[in-house]
């Protein structure tokens, strides 16, 4: 063999061997490669409320009830339930044969310990706890919850998808302090977490749980038979959006939870990729105001900003020119849901009233104090909103100190109650998942309980009373009326300013089917050919 032939043969062999991994990857129809919205840094969806953690936890842990796409709770781990006429006593019976991943049976004591941990952290759970007389095991499969006050929303509380989700863990794990992360990830859900294959920040692997017995009903969001068609689901954490897009086009990943708007046109042009709306309940942009310090401790100043604020400006900055992705939102609540209301939301519609806003600011005594605007510039949605806010405030004559920070810093900074000139803040931006804004229960940002409220510490006794009225509402009509009152009160008080409603996309390879629209990735029913 001549030297040139030898080199050619060697090169061919080398190139052939380099190409091998792609061929072997293509054969993995029983493996789903999924890129989540963020790095999965922990798996405790009780101690932490990050959406990505909640989404992963839904694979590992199951719930007594689960909401369907109409947000109606359906029995999940529960075989049956019984509620007393006054909604004070709830008896829940577990399905037979439920097992944890360590093959131990799911017992009433596990349910009680899990609910006890959840009640400390969840707003609905806290309401249950406040009126709890007893939670007792009737037998190994039956739990009774006795309250001293009616709680008609019990099933929704136990089945909602909002974090913290009432997931059932083995008693030994559920006894962990709810403010500390659990160290064992054993659930009874459809997938087992492969702790030995976990490379935090890079990959998390879930393997099908052979002992899982799906319900006979058709799966819908958190309800019905959670039939997973894969042996393995691999969550791959790719830090760079362009790399994610390239990997999806190249078939190296199967499903990307939240492609950034800039790259969506590119993905839509690819014949092997499907792109569609991810979550029909979308998101609500948030202009969060610190109520503790001047000038925003005066509702007139908050209203002045609100009457000049253009939601269109915010939404175009967030999602670009795709009009299908956003709409104006004269409401604090999620559009398209049963109790949606726009009562009192006029201030956010129509032509923006800059002159009136300036007049109101002067009337409130604003004298050019510097407004500290904390912007997480490493998150596109907050950066876009922050830029629009800086412009808006200047237009109405306010002096702005735009502080470009990273999200980690904003997360710590917003907890400071100090005056803005001493390390505190006036405004920061975030957004709320629409699923969390369907009603006041999971909506921590809506609460106006002062010291105990979310960042910004709004205090309005009227709003708190309105929330209590909603909780006590005996039927849908009463709930809707309570929501209308709440929306009007919160608009007048300006708990915070909604900057608009926006949707996001998800993208997946065409050989993957069964992907549905939901507030979280639904893996059951998804298939790959």
Partner 1 sequence: MLGYLTRRVLATIPVMAIVALFVFSLLYIAPGDPAAIIAGDQATPADVERIRAGLGLDRPFLIRFGEWLWQVVRGDLGVSIFTNLPVTRLIQQRLEPTVSLMILTLILSIVIAVPMGVLAAWNQGTWIDRAIMVLAVFGFSVPVFVVGYLLAYVFALDGFGLGLDWFPVQGYTPLARGFGPWLSNLVLPSVALGGVYIALIARITRATMLEVLSQDYIRTAKAKGVGSRTVLFLHALKNAAVPIVTVIGIGVALLIGGAVVTESVFAIPGLGRLVVDAILRRDYPVIQGVVLLFSFVYVLVNLGVDLLYTVFDPRIRY
Is residue 193 a contact partner of residue 232, using CB atoms and an 8 Å limit?
A: no
**In this chain, which stretch among 86-94, 136-144, 385-393, 446-454 interacts with partner 1, using CB under 8 A?**
446-454
How near is the Cβ of 31 to partner 1 at its closest, in Å? 14
Size of the site for partner 1 (CB under 8 A): 66
In 3D space, the residue among 177, 172, 208 whose CA is nearest the CA of residue 190 turns out to be 208
CA distance 36 to 56: 9
Fill in the per-residue mask, 62 to 91: x = in contact with partner 1 (CB under 8 A), - = not in contact: ------------------------------
Interface with partner 1 in residues 24-63 (CB under 8 A):
39, 41-42, 47-51, 53
CB atoms within 10 A of CB 23: 9
String of DSSP letters for 5-46: HHHHHHHHHHHHHHHHHHHHHHT-TTEEEEE-SS------TT
Which of the stretches 132-140, 213-221, 300-308, 405-413 binds partner 1 when contact is defined by CB under 8 A?
405-413
Closer to partner 1 by Cβ: residue 29 or 38: 38
Contact letters for partner 1, residues 223-242 (x by CB under 8 A)? -------------xxxxx-x
Candidate segments 71-79, 152-160, 358-366, 401-409, binder of partner 1 by CB under 8 A: 401-409
Please select the residue that binds partner 1; options are 6, 7, 415, 476, rule is CB under 8 A: 415
Q: How far apart are the first and last CA of the chain?
A: 44
Segment holding 242, helix H or strand E: helix 241-249
Closer Cβ to partner 1, 99 or 459, answer by number: 459
Q: CB burial class (10 A; 0-12, 13-18, 19+) of residue 249?
A: middle
* Site for partner 1 contains 22 (CB under 8 A): yes
What is the Rg, in whole angstroms, of the alpha carbon atoms belonging to the chain?
25
Least distance from C-beta 483 to partner 1, angstroms?
Answer: 20
Residues in the chain: 529
Could you say which residues in the range 449-508 bind partner 1, by CB under 8 A?
452-455, 457
Beta bridge partners of 527: 513
Whichever of 302 and 432 has its CB closer to partner 1, that residue is 432
Helix, strand, coil percent content, the chain, rounded in steps of 5? 35, 20, 45
Burial class (CB in 10 A: 0-12, 13-18, 19+), 416: middle
State the binding string over 137-176 for partner 1 (x if CB under 8 A, else -): -------------------------xxx------------
Task: Give the interface segment with partner 1, choosing from 9-17, 109-117, 468-476, 494-502 (CB under 8 A).
Answer: 9-17
Q: Does 421 bind partner 1 (CB under 8 A)?
A: no
Question: What's the rounded Cα separation, in Å, for the pair 234 and 186?
Answer: 18
Residues lying near partner 1 in the complex (CB under 8 A): 14-15, 17-22, 39, 41-42, 47-51, 53, 121, 162-164, 177, 179-181, 183, 198-203, 236-240, 242-243, 246-247, 249-250, 252, 378, 405-409, 411-415, 417, 430, 432, 436, 442, 444, 452-455, 457
């Amino acid at each position: 063999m001549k030297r040139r032939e030898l080199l050619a043969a060697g090169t061919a062999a080398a190139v052939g061997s380099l190409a091998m991994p792609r061929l072997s990857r293509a054969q993995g129809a029983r493996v789903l490669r999924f890129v989540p919205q963020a790095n999965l840094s922990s798996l405790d969806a009780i101690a932490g409320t990050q959406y990505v953690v909640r989404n992963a936890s839904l694979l590992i842990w199951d719930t007594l009830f689960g909401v369907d796409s109409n947000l109606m709770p359906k029995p999940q781990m529960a075989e049956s339930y019984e509620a007393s006429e006054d909604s004070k006593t709830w008896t829940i019976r577990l399905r037979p044969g439920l097992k944890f991943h360590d093959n131990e049976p799911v017992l009433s004591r596990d349910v009680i310990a899990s609910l006890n941990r959840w009640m400390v952290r969840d707003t609905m759970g806290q309401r249950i706890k406040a009126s709890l007389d007893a939670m007792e095991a009737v037998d190994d499969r039956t739990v009774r919850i006795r309250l001293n006050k009616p709680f008609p929303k019990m099933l929704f509380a136990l089945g909602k998808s909002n974090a913290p989700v009432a997931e059932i863990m083995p008693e030994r794990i559920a006894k962990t302090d709810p403010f500390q992360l659990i160290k064992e990830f054993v659930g009874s859900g459809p997938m087992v977490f492969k702790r030995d294959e976990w490379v935090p920040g890079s990959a998390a692997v879930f393997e099908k749980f052979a002992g899982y017995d799906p319900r006979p009903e058709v799966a819908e969001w958190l309800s019905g038979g959670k039939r997973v068609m894969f042996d393995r689901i691999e969550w791959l954490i790719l830090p760079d959006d362009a790399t994610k897009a390239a990997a999806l086009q190249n078939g190296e990943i199967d499903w990307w939870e939240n492609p950034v708007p800039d790259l969506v046109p590119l993905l839509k042009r690819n014949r092997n990729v499907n792109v569609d709306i991810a979550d029909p309940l979308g998101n609500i942009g948030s202009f969060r105001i610190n109520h503790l310090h001047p000038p925003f401790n005066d509702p007139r100043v908050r209203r002045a900003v609100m009457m000049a604020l253009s939601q269109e400006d915010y939404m175009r900055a967030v999602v670009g020119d795709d009009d299908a992705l956003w709409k104006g939102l004269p409401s604090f609540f999620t559009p398209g849901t049963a109790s949606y209301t726009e009562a009192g939301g006029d201030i956010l519609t129509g032509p923006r009233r800059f002159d009136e806003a300036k007049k109101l600011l002067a009337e409130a005594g604003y004298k050019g104090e510097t407004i500290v605007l904390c912007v997480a510039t490493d998150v596109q949605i907050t950066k876009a909103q922050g830029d629009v806010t800086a412009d808006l405030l200047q237009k109405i004559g306010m002096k702005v100190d735009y502080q470009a920070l990273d999200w980690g810093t904003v997360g710590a900074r917003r907890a400071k109650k100090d005056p803005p000139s001493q390390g505190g803040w006036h405004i920061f931006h975030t957004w709320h998942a629409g699923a969390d804004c369907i009603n006041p229960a999971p909506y921590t940002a809506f609460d106006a309980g002062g010291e105990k409220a979310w960042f910004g510490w709004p205090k309005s006794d009227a709003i708190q009373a309105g929330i209590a009225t909603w909780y006590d509402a005996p039927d849908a009509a009463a709930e809707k009326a309570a929501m209308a009152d709440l929306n009007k009160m919160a608009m007048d008080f300006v708990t915070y300013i909604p900057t608009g409603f926006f949707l996001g996309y998800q993208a997946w390879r065409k050989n993957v089917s069964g992907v549905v629209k939901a507030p979280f990735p639904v893996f059951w029913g998804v298939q790959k050919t």
